[in-house]
Amino acid sequence: MTTLTIQAADTATAMDQIAERLGKDALILSTTKKDGKVIMRATNGADLPSPPPKNPASDFTHLYNAGISSSLPGKPRVSTQVPAKQTTDSNLANTQTSTADSIQRAIMQAMSLMADRIDQLDSKLSGMMLTGPDGLNAGLQDSTPVRLSRAGYSQATILRLHPEFAGLDYDNGVSSFLDCLAQDLADLNSEALLQKRFIFVVGATGSGRTTLASKLAASLKDAHPGKQVALTSLSATLNETDTKLRSFARLLNIPVSQYTQEMSDQQFDKITDFDMMVVDVSLPAENAVARVSQLKQYLGDQDSAVVLSLSGGSSAKMITLTVDQFAPLKPTIGLTKLDECETTAAEFSALAETGAQISLLSGTKSVVGAIAFASAKILAQYLKENFHIDTSEKLVF
């Protein structure tokens, strides 16, 4: 008899591995869970006695078990560990074996379903706070930390800013939390962008990067009417200049040029005869970081800045990934497409946890006059106007 111990992320995966290694007739001896992993012991059952004879099941039981077992093809059986008696009636033995197999498969399906439900319950309980940082509270369901959690803010952000609202009532507590979060997220030197000679706009395709670059060029043109502002595309080849960038340049009546990652820094000088330039960087993240870092070093930090374009509809995971990818450039954040989609509490929590600072708020409907510098006051207003509490699930104590 071969005995095997399997450790897997969930019950279904463990059973698949057991069936693959011991065959579909393997028997489960035990199932435990440790450190979030499922641990199963199984055997091929070569030396185990047959299950005891039982009375034939009713027609309903046969139909039920057949329906259950058909949904679990090739899954291992659960051992009942009950000694069996020999029988000389082969037809009865076959019926008993089939019935036992059906019951065992039904048990395995129930175990798998139970494991999935436990995982779902773990997920729901992970953000629940039964006792706030101030201790037991009869009115905890209406307390500030719980309401902030139900609104979507992460526990890490709530706990970090807890001193800002501790001891305050619900309304004042939420307001103080959002004000403090806005203060953390806002780039207090955002308007200094208008004084930079070179602004590199980086970000993923579809993030509103090209539109944001054009809006910045329009803002520079309005802020410096006596200076010549230009748009430039930094791409992999000369044939990749975005037609949208050229259209925006014609709309704004400003020149547009192109620069590739293979060109030298000295060649870049030839297209910088303009007073100010906004560069739309369409390279992949890794290449963009490498080339923009070189150009910034060549041009000097005093004359250059980097803006990372993030769509307002980006998920928290995407925000964390994107900010990490462009972190070497130390960019300021430009939130785009805010007139199309809302940035939620989870996304603002992700931005705060990465240490990002927001300098620009932008929509997509207009190129001219559709960009705002993200002061703490403007961000706090946005956070308060979009503060929603998920009431789909009630907390029960």
Where do the structural domains in the chain lie, given as residue ranges?
3-125, 187-374
pLDDT-based confidence at residue 124 (cuts at 50, 70, 90): low
Looking at the chain, which runs of residues are DSSP E strands? 3-8, 27-34, 37-43, 77-78, 198-202, 229-235, 256-260, 276-281, 304-311, 332-336, 358-362, 371-373
Instruction: Look at strands 229-235 and 276-281 and give their pairing.
Output: parallel
pLDDT-based confidence at residue 17 (cuts at 50, 70, 90): confident
Dihedral class, residue 154 (left if φ above 0, else alpha if ψ from -120 to 50, else beta): beta
Q: pTM here?
A: 0.62
In degrees and rounded to multiples of 5, residue 197 shows phi and psi of -80, -35
What is the reported pLDDT for 94?
61
Q: What is the pLDDT of residues 65-84, one digit of tens each?
A: 444 444 444 445 444 444 44
Q: What is the pLDDT of residues 237-254, one digit of tens each?
A: 776 556 888 888 888 899
What is the reported pLDDT for 354?
92
What is the reported pLDDT for 340?
80
Whole-number Å distance between alpha carbons of 179 and 188: 14
pLDDT-based confidence at residue 149 (cuts at 50, 70, 90): confident
Structure tokens at 337: 């497409």
Question: Is the model's pLDDT at 139 over the cut of 60?
Answer: no
What mean pLDDT is predicted for residues 123-131?
55
Top mean-pLDDT range of 16-25, 118-127, 261-270, 338-347: 338-347
What is the reported pLDDT for 263?
83
What is the distance, to the nearest Å, from the Cα of residue 330 to the centroid of all Cα atoms in its chain?
21
Question: Is the model's pLDDT at 363 over the cut of 70?
Answer: yes
Q: What is the pLDDT of residues 279-314, one digit of tens each?
A: 999 999 999 999 999 998 888 888 899 999 999 888
Distant-in-sequence, close-in-space partners of 14: CB < 8 Å, separation ≥ 6: 6, 7, 8, 31, 38, 39, 40
Map tokens 């004879």 to a residue. Answer: 53
CATH topology of domain 187-374: Rossmann fold (3.40.50)
What mean pLDDT is predicted for residues 92-107?
70
Instruction: Look at strands 229-235 and 256-260 and give their pairing.
Output: parallel
